[in-house]
A and B are shown apart, each in its own frame.
Chain A
Amino acid sequence: MAAAALDNANPTILSASQLPTRQKRSAPRNGPDCRYSDLIFAKPSYMSRPFLQDDDIRYQDDTATADDLSAEPIDEQEIYDLISSITDPEHPVSLGQLSVINLPDIHITPSPALGVPSPNTIVQVTVELTPTVTHCSLATVLGLGVRVRLEQVLPPNYRVEVICKENSHSQDDQVNKQLSDKERVAAALENDSLRSVLDKMLESCLEN
């Protein structure tokens, strides 16, 4: 790849705090006036095991932990979180920050609102990419990156489709064709130099 000529040398970059995130309870504010909050709000020690054997009474913060452990299906936001942190091959920022990947362009069928699908249900995940410029030569590489990432992290009953958003690319039908061709995807992954580009892009996705 010629690094010398960038397709889009000066893209719009969003700051990390402006990206959509899971609407969970954010960490409580920790201001100078909250110095003793942890102490005062602490659950009394007799209110937990082993002194408390029964499970029928709850203290105020019990509900929070229970929420984290309840069943929630894989939704669009989770898919977004999995792929928005992929690094762009040209710029040292993530695809989410470049708005290549947008939350409304992720579609899951059957809808996650119907609950957690059984492991035998085939779930279709479609991700529409918006390249930063319509002539972006790296659109296929981006698509490949998203595809590889999702295949690495989704369970086997999820089918992944990555396409360019309509009219976002001058040759979107060709790009789409390449991305949906399993043979070509497999062949591309055999290519060492392409593989190393992909690895570089996915490095930033490691969870902690």
Chain B
Amino acid sequence: MADFRQLALDFVLEEDEAKLTDLAQRAAKELETAPANSNPVARWVEAVQPWMPGNETEDSQETPDWTSRAKALEFLSHTLDFVKPDLLKLSQVKLLIAFFGAMLDIDHKAGILASATALSRIIAMKAFQSQSGYDIIGKVCGMKEDFQRQTAKTRLAVYELLRTLIVTPEIASNLQQRDGPSSTFMTNLLELCRNERDPDCLIVWFDILRIFLQQYEPSQEVLEAVFAAFKAYYPITLPRLSQSGITPEDLKSQLRKCFSSTYRLASLSLPFLIGKLDQGDGVTVNVKCLEEYTNPEESIIPYVSRTWGSLKYEVRNGEIEDAIWATLEVLKTLATRLKGDDLRNYTLDVTRDCVNDLSNPMYTTPAGRLIVSVLSANPSAFVLMVAPTITHLKDNLRHRKSVTHSQDLLKILNVILETRLLLSQTQMTDEQKSDFVAIDGIFKNLYHEVYKGPVALGSNENANFDDMKIAAEAVQGAGALVSQGTVPLGLEKDSGLLLPEATSSEICQALFAIALNGFGNHSSNSNSDDLLNETAKALHRAIQAYAPGFRPLVDQFVSVVQSSRENQSDEAAEKIQKIGSLLAYVGCSELPKSLIAGRHNFLALVHIMTTELIAAIDAKASPKIWCALIIGIQTTSRYFNDACLKHEPEADQAFDGSMWLYRVTYKYPELRIIAGEEDDGSAPSYSSATPPKEVTATELRNDFLLIALVVVRSLYRRATAVVGPIPGTKSPALQLSSDFDGSDKTSEYQYLHLVSDFAGFVAREMGEAQQASLKLDHYFLNLFQEELVPVPPSISEEQRKTKLEKYTDEQGSSWGWLTEKTVNTLSFGLLEAMRPSVVAKLFDSGVAQELLISGTLSASLTQNSVTRPITRSILTILANKYKVESLGYLMARLESRLEAALKNAQNSSDNDDASRYLEQVSSIYAIVSGLIRRPGGTQARALIQRLRDAPGNETTGHLLARRLEMVVAPQKFLTKDSFAVVKPLWTQRIYFELVKPMLDIATSQDAEAGSQLVKTNYRIAVLSMVKHMPFSIWEDDCVEILRVSMALSQSLGPGPDTLPALEILKNILAESPEKAQEYAKSLIDISLPCFSLKAASQLTRPDWLPSGYVPAKMRPEVEAECGKLALEVVGALPRLFESRHVVPFVPQVRRELSLACGHPVRDLRRLARMARAAWTEIK
């Protein structure tokens, strides 16, 4: 049997929280297990006797040890935490209540906290009798003034105890029984707690008051006393030094709950709060009260007009936006609580007070906000207020005072329309519905009465600044008007459109007229942009609601396109492109409820655009118009694709491969003419040939992909033509068709790119199975000319090897035209979007291997600056999407080619020869750039080794070094979006394998590592690669790279090689300026010449630099770019460096910067001024 005295002593002496709990648990266990006859409860209570008052036997004059006594009592209360609720008998509970009650009475220094906690536990005991609750409250009240002297923690425990008491149902009913409505106990409590200031305690105290008001039925006097108790705290804030976790918002919300606890408070709280509107969160409290008070007849209605009368000025004359919003919220809430005549009177008051303000431009907006806040409360308020409001709005629009006045009035009208739209979708009773329908007439005429004129301003060619502002407001209303629906009465299910069809279609036409006018207009400013944007949104909305409005717009578009064939101006092409994009957005950016209608819009638009495009090509219209149309097609497809994706279709369902074209043209006969089949002469219907039934999102999306592929196919076929068999072979080849006559090369080229980009988009949207089922690899090889170009079969690995061995440069590849001639733009688009598994099939037939070898050679022979970069991109993609590193025979071939090309480049005396071999080397670099991003790509060590050694050559090293940039530069077609195979951390790998060894040579002090010239080559190589790598990768070598950058800039001066150096310097200054601090002088020395106005010829370069190392003539953009970076570097120094590092250079730099303020390039002048200001501030 454990000794309670010992446990108590241990508890008093112990500090550690875990051990205290353990001791309490042991005591609780002992209470439960000890035999009843040993009277454990009495022994347990007596255990604390030594610390109790009146027991200080030895030296009673000494101050009692309050801490120990409190600890001893805590032993008791803590033990109770672990005692089962049914353990204590009634008599024991009574004993404990008496004991702890007495503590509350007599021990105001040490006993309160423990007693309050203990009593809270005892209340939960089974044997607790509810009438004891009253006694406990009595004891608590007995503390009187001593209560305020307790610490906040102790008071909190007491408040918790009180709260537990008044919420426990049995105790509560006992309390009510005893005191009745006079609630004496509460009066005593109010007296006890009246000066509470601690936030934690207040939270509980307010809660007690709220519960009391809600659950007890106190007399009016008590109600008033309680109200007086909490209203004194209003408006509440948190003491500045408060340590508790309570936020001011917690306190406010708790106090708010007191105000809104019962409707009986209304007569006290509403006048009080209205009087305090300017203080605290009066308005929010009001909302709370208005929302929560039951019994509105008694609580709210008497105060309606008073509330309105006081609050309207808050909005009318108020300036603080938050307060205005809160006030509007109150007024709206008020309307939701009223019914019948009360609501009628209220809305009448509001309408009467506000409509007069509508004629005063100063108060139009506040009046509108007040009206809208009340009429948006519910359909009844809306019905009561909308007619007089609209009448006044119309009146005032006729007699507008200013442009802003018109705008404000229109805005109010727009918001009313939006409100109607929202309310018409709410649940209404039949009576409300018929009331709602009764006022429909007002809206039906609104377009002709109000909007027509202002909307027409927008399509006026001579519209001025103000007209456009008004029109921008009006179009929004017009759009909202079309989308208004009727409220179905009785048994009707579907709601129709409110406006008659003629009006809806008139609105669509009027809106489109603005776009037609705006897009034709070349001068653009922010106002016309605003108008066009709003018009686009409104038109989109209108067409979403009124689908038949779309077709006439498309017809108008067609006539614009057709008329442009005569007028082949750039403006015409721009207009076509913009209207095309607008129609794409209006018709296809969102699927209507009926998915079929959505497909109809898409099909109609894409069909029209494609046939018009083909017609434009036939008519030999300007390629700029071709571009405009293909942009329209792609925009439409992208909008529609995204709209489909929002409906979450299932992805990647394989297509019916060989039959896809037949099936899709059978399903959509209008595509036949696009697909090049015979036209049956019937007008396109744009609905599928199979009977119209609802489609699923998946079917819709898959059909979309195939429809788009039909368009791609026809454009590809149109763009290519066959050239007889390649000499010496039987294989045919394709070239650009005769449509591309070179009259406007740039646009033709852009058109090809756009077509290829569209093909890429469509293919990229397909899943792996879809690409495979369509045999996309075949289309890559024949560019959709299936009947002209046969696709080679798969062959075994051995055969492929032999085939490649037989390949000779003299003979070339029979597929060379595909990647090396002008059609390569088209093949690139498809390849870029192909999944690796589909690309692998190109390797199965051995074609890709041939292309890789022949592509590296062609760069030097036949290609021009347009085709060459595309060929290289194709090589990169092929090397990236297939495991070429595992094809030993191919790698060996590439290595020997690289080696030969490097050697030839070095040895050739002729400049042309040398540059030819350089082009070959560059093409192999392109292959490496794809390869090294693959996992396992670094296996191609032999190639990487040769790359690393290339800059070591004195004659060609610098040229090769510059081209190494190609290996690491980011490319769109090497991202995951284009299904490229990119290993994480590949940059780190390449840094260590390729860059780091070069950096070592570049920074080496050793003469054996290479001559100055060779080191400079390596510096160029390092910087052109590091430029594309994030700082974190080369952070450890930051200082070396900093030195390399400075050394290079110093020896070469401003120019293309210094550009990456300056970029890197800027990067280092941004990331880790402290590392550059000691190089301030060098940084300034290399930067100043970059923006100096002195002629470049005055620069002296070191003697060891051969002539021609740096291109003699610098391109102006390189020069400007160098200057820009240098100015940014110099301008940043005063901010980044301690002043002692920059002060010595102030006179020199200021002089140069003041000269640079007269730099011929405007942007440089701007930077120079900023840098100059920064250097002027140095004291």
Interface of A toward B, CB cutoff 8 Å:
17, 26, 29-37, 39-41, 44-47, 49-60, 65-66, 68-74, 78, 116-117, 119, 152-158, 206-207
10 further A-B contacts with Cβ under 8 Å, apart from A46-B973, A57-B865, A69-B1116, are A30-B533, A33-B578, A33-B585, A46-B869, A49-B969, A50-B966, A54-B865, A116-B1160, A155-B1156, A155-B1158
- In the assembled complex, the CB of B829 is this many whole angstroms from the nearest CB of chain A, namely 9
Chain A min CB distance to B1132 (Å)? 14
Q: Using CB atoms, name the residue of chain A closest to B1024.
A: A50
**Which candidate, B337-345, B630-638, B674-682, is the interface stretch facing chain A?**
B630-638
What chain B residues lie within 8 Å of A117 (beta carbons)? Answer: 1158
- The residue of chain A having its C-beta at the shortest distance from the C-beta of B915 within the complex is A53
Q: In the complex, are the beta carbons of B639 and A70 less than 8 A apart? A: no
Nearest CB of B to A46, in Å: 4
- Closest chain B residue, CB of each to CB of A72: B1162
CA distance A46 to B1120 in the complex (A): 23
B195 contacts A by Cβ under 8 Å:
no
- CB-defined A-B contacts under 8 Å, sample of 16: A31-B532, A32-B537, A32-B589, A40-B631, A45-B971, A50-B963, A50-B969, A52-B865, A53-B963, A69-B1161, A72-B1160, A73-B1160, A78-B1165, A152-B1169, A152-B1172, A152-B1176
Residue of B nearest to A36 (CB): B638
In the complex, what's the smallest C-beta–C-beta distance from A132 to chain B, in angstroms?
Answer: 23
Q: A35-B585, A119-B1093, A154-B1157 are in contact. Are A207 and B526 (CB under 8 A)?
A: no
Contact, CB under 8 Å: B581 / A60: no
Question: Which of B540, B1170, B1176 is the one whose CB lies under 8 Å from A32?
Answer: B540
Q: Does B922 contact A (CB under 8 A)?
A: yes
A74, B1157: Cα distance in complex, Å: 10
Rounded to whole angstroms, the CA-CA distance of A70 and B865 in the bound complex is 24
- Chain A residue nearest to B926 (CB atoms) is A51
Query: Quick check: which of B547-555, B749-757, B785-793, B942-950 contacts chain A, the rest being far away?
Result: B749-757
Nearest A residue (CB) for B1176: A152
Q: Bound complex: CA of A55 vs CA of B585, how far in Å?
A: 37
Return the contact of A69 from the options B537, B585, B1120 (Cβ within 8 A): B1120
Quick one: closest B residue to A60, CB to CB? B750
B1155 within 8 A of A: yes
| Interface residue ranges of B1109-1126 to A (CB < 8 Å) | 1115-1117, 1120-1121
With beta carbons under 8 angstroms apart, the residue of A26, A51, A58, A152 that contacts B525 is A26
> Which residue of A is nearest B874, CB measured?
A46
Task: Using known A-B contacts A36-B634, A40-B634, A153-B1157, determine if residue A69 contacts B1117 with beta carbons closer than 8 Å.
Answer: yes
Interchain CB contact under 8 A, A66 and B750: no
Residues of B within 8 A of A156 (CB): 1154-1155
In whole angstroms, how far apart are the Cα atoms of A119 and B969 in the complex?
A: 39
Q: Which of B526, B537, B1162 has the most CB of A within 10 A?
A: B1162
Q: Is the CB of B872 within 8 A of A51?
A: yes
A45 touches B972 (CB 8 A): yes
By Cβ-Cβ distance, the 5 closest A-B pairs, closest first, are A155-B1158, A71-B1160, A33-B585, A54-B865, A31-B533
Give the shortest distance, in Å, between B571 (CB) and chain A (any CB): 15
Residues 486-525 of chain B, each 1 if its beta carbon lies under 8 Å from chain A, else 0: 0000000000000000000000000000000000000011
Bound-state CA distance A31–B586 (Å) is 12
User: Is B985 among interface residues, defined by CB-CB distance under 8 A?
Assistant: no
Q: Which residues in B have their C-beta under 8 angstroms from that of A44?
A: 753, 757
Which of chain B's residues have a CB closer than 8 A to the CB of A36? Answer: 581, 634-635, 638-639
A32–B533 touching, CB < 8 Å: yes
Instruction: Tell me, in angstroms, the Cα distance from A206 to B1173 when the chains sit together.
Output: 9
Residues of B within 8 A of A33 (CB): 536, 578, 581-582, 584-586
Residues 1133 to 1151 of chain B near chain A (Cβ within 8 Å): none
Across the interface, do B634 and A47 meet the contact criterion of CB distance under 8 Å?
Answer: no
When C-beta atoms are compared, the residue in chain A nearest to B515 turns out to be: A33
Is B746 an interface residue, CB under 8 A from the partner? yes
Instruction: Find out whether the CB atom of A158 lies under 8 angstroms from the CB atom of B1158.
Output: yes
Which residue of chain B is the closest to A59 with respect to CB atoms?
A: B750
From A54, A70, A157, contact of B1161 by CB (8 A)? A70
Q: Given contacts A32-B537, A51-B926, A154-B1158, are A58 and B1176 in contact (CB under 8 A)?
A: no
In the complex, the answer to whether B1158 meets A74 with C-beta atoms within 8 Å is: yes
| Known A29-B533, A33-B581, A36-B635; contact A153-B1169, beta-carbon cutoff 8 A | yes
Set B631, B969, B1157: member contacting A155, Cβ < 8 A? B1157
Interface-central residue, A32, A60, A70, A73, by most chain B CB under 10 Å: A32
By DSSP majority rule, is chain A's interface helix, strand, loop, or mixed? loop
Contacts of A51 in B (CB 8 A): 869, 872-873, 926, 966, 969, 971
Interface size class of B (residues with CB under 8 A): 35 or more
Q: What is the CA–CA distance of A35 and B639 in the complex, to the nearest angstrom?
A: 9
Residues of chain A within 8 A of B1157, CB atoms compared: 153-155
Query: Chain A's nearest CB lies how many Å from the CB of B926?
Result: 7
Contact indicator B1154/A155 (Cβ below 8 Å): yes
CB contact between A29 and one of B524, B872, B922 (< 8 Å): that residue: B524
A208 CB to nearest B CB, Å:
8
Hey, what's the 0/1 contact readout for B1004-1036 against A, CB within 8 Å counting as 1?
Answer: 000000000000000000001000000000000
Interface assignment of B965: CB less than 8 Å from any CB of chain A: yes
Inter-chain contact A34/B746, CB cutoff 8 Å: no
CA distance A207 to B1161 in the complex (A): 17
Write out the residue numbers on chain A whose beta carbons fall within 8 Å of the beta carbon of B1093: 119
Question: Is B1163 on the interface with A (CB-CB < 8 A)?
Answer: yes
B354 CB contacts on chain A under 8 angstroms: none
Tell me the smallest distance from the CB of A71 to a CB of chain B, in Å: 4
> Which B residues are in CB contact (< 8 Å) with A26?
524-526
Chain A's closest residue to B747 (CB) is: A60
Q: Does B186 contact A (CB under 8 A)?
A: no
User: Does B879 belong to the interface (CB within 8 Å)?
Assistant: no
Nearest chain A CB to B174 CB, angstrom units: 67
CA distance A70 to B1116 in the complex (A): 7
Decide: B866 and A57 in contact? CB cutoff 8 A. yes
Contact with A along B531-545 (1 / 0, CB 8 A): 011001100100000
CB neighbours (8 Å) of B1121 from chain A are 69
CB of A65 within 8 A of CB of B1117, answer yes
Residue of A at shortest CB range from B1155? A155
Residues of B within 8 A of A35 (CB): 585, 589, 638-639
A78 closest partner in B (C-beta): B1162
Compute how far the CA of A54 lies from the CA of B867 in the bound complex, rounded to whole angstroms.
11
Q: Which residues of B contact A50 (CB under 8 A)?
A: 963, 965-966, 969, 1024
**With A32-B537, A49-B965: A40-B869 Cβ-Cβ less than 8 Å:** no
Residues of B within 8 A of A46 (CB): 828, 869-870, 872-873, 971, 973
B865 and A56 within 8 A (CB): yes
B630 to chain A, nearest CB (A): 9
Smallest CB-CB separation from A71: which chain B residue? B1160
User: In the complex, what residue of chain B is closest to A17 when comparing beta carbons?
Assistant: B526
B529 CB–A CB distance under 8 Å: yes
A119 touches B865 (CB 8 A): no
Please measure, in the bound complex, the distance between the C-alpha atom of A32 and the C-alpha atom of B533, giving whole angstroms.
7
| Residue numbers in A under 8 Å from B1165 (CB-CB) | 74, 78
Question: Could you tell me the distance between the alpha carbons of A34 and B589 in the complex, rounded to whole angstroms?
Answer: 11
Interface flag for B1166 (CB, 8 Å)? yes
B residues 405-442 touching A (CB-CB < 8 Å): none
Q: How far is the CA of A59 from the CA of B747 in the complex (A)?
A: 9
Given known pairs A31-B529, A72-B1161, A119-B1093, the reply for A47 and B869 (CB within 8 Å) is yes
Whether A207 contacts B865 by the Cβ 8 Å rule is no
Set of chain B residues within 8 Å of A49, measured between Cβ atoms: 965, 969
- Those of B607-637 within 8 Å (CB) of chain A: 631, 634-635
- Return B917 CB to nearest CB of chain A, in Å: 14
User: Would you give the shortest CB distance from A93 to chain B, in whole angstroms?
Assistant: 19
Q: Give the docked Cα–Cα distance between A54 and B537 (Å).
A: 44
Q: Which of A51, A57, A119 has the most C-beta atoms of chain B within 10 angstroms of its own C-beta? A: A51
Enumerate chain A residues within 8 angstroms of B973, measured Cβ to Cβ. Answer: 45-46
Is the beta-carbon distance between A32 and B869 smaller than 8 angstroms? no
Assuming the contacts A57-B865, A74-B1165, A207-B1170, asked whether A32 and B536 have C-beta atoms less than 8 A apart, the reply is yes
Bound-state Cα–Cα, A60 to B750, Å = 8
Instruction: State in angstroms the CA–CA spacing of A70 and B1163 once bound together.
Output: 10
